[in-house]
Amino acid sequence: MTCEACTKAATNPGSGLYHANCEECQHRMFMQSLPLHLANLKGIPASEDRRAYIRVIEQKHKTRAADALKAAYLEWWDSRKAKA
Ligand SMILES: [Zn+2]
């Protein structure tokens, strides 16, 4: 499930090339914005609101993207607990 833009990105991650109909490209594009989504999540105090945010990500960007965001958030959460 890759395309020419994916092949180029494999050797040049900063290629900035994405194909709208390629699932792999869509995911790469989402991963570019992951820090932004993570910052948004960190700013949401209620866990049910965080779950709602992740649900929206899942609907817009597929489960894989939502899983990546959840994993990034949990990693941050654990690192916070480790310091406390
Ligand atoms: Zn692609």
Using the mean position of ligand 1's atoms as its centre, give its distance from the Cα of residue 57 in Å: 20
Alpha carbons 60 and 17: distance in angstroms, whole number: 20
Residue 67 has pLDDT above 70, yes or no: yes
Q: What is the mean pLDDT of residues 70-84?
A: 91
**C-alpha dihedral sign at 49, 54, 59, 63:** negative
pLDDT of residue 1: 59
What percent of the chain shows pLDDT beyond 90?
Answer: 83
- Return mean pLDDT, the chain: 93
Using the mean position of ligand 1's atoms as its centre, give its distance from the Cα of residue 81 in Å: 37
Using the mean position of ligand 1's atoms as its centre, give its distance from the Cα of residue 31 in Å: 13
Using the mean position of ligand 1's atoms as its centre, give its distance from the Cα of residue 14 in Å: 14
Which pTM was predicted?
A: 0.85
Using the mean position of ligand 1's atoms as its centre, give its distance from the Cα of residue 65 in Å: 15
